[in-house]
Amino acid sequence: MKLIFATGNQHKLKEILSIAPAGFEILGLKDIGFTEELPETQNTIEGNSLQKAEYLANKFGIACFSEDTGLEINALDGEPGVYSARYAGAKATYDDNTDMVLQKMKGEADRSARFKTVITYHADGKYVQFEGITEGMILNERKGSQGFGYDPIFMPMGADKTYAEMTLDEKNGFSHRKKSFELFANHLATIAVLK
């Protein structure tokens, strides 16, 4: 089954490809020659995920899926949340965003946080969403050089190292993205059986 993943982020595409079950061919936006920025103007992770999938589905008339992910930190009232990718500004780098979190978390005793991913599958004018959450904590400093985004400062519950210290296989053992994609894959398998 061929699926279009509404992302230009090669890191996210690589993670999804590493957990996709056999029988699925997943193409990113670059694979189909789409270079526009997808709209992300909603104020929730769920809303952004739907907006991206809906835009692509309406533009090309194809079944597709998108995802939106946010880091929610309890001591910061859920920030950066839906603004995780641009927490330090519209042109912010991963390092800029991580620096801002570390600055805001200075002196905070409650380091608890979670990563939340929402995948939206859009086909035939309808959509369904799948949520994956990984609880963890924010460290006081970066550790590791793998992964991307906030991975160097996020340690998932039950682990003794950050996402950025893990191999991709190790990260997938905890991954919020994998949890949501597994629910999505199960849904697609159900559809295939029904057809």
pLDDT of residue 195: 47
Terminal-residue alpha carbon distance, the chain: 13
Residues of the chain with pLDDT under 70: 192-195
Active-site position among 31, 68, 110, 151:
68
pLDDT of residue 25: 84
Say whether domain 2-194 belongs to CATH 3.90.1150.10: no
Counting Cα atoms < 13 Å in the Cβ hemisphere of 116 gives 22
Question: How large a percentage of the chain has pLDDT more than 90?
Answer: 72
Q: Are the C-beta atoms of 164 and 141 separated by less than 8 Å?
A: no
- The tens digit of pLDDT for each residue in 106-146 reads 999 999 999 999 999 999 899 999 999 999 999 999 999 99
Give pairs for 81-90: CB < 8 Å, separation 24+.
Answer: 81/45, 82/42, 82/43, 82/44, 82/45, 82/47, 82/48, 84/149, 84/150, 85/40, 85/149
pTM for the model = 0.90
pLDDT of residue 193: 53
Whether 68 is catalytic is: yes
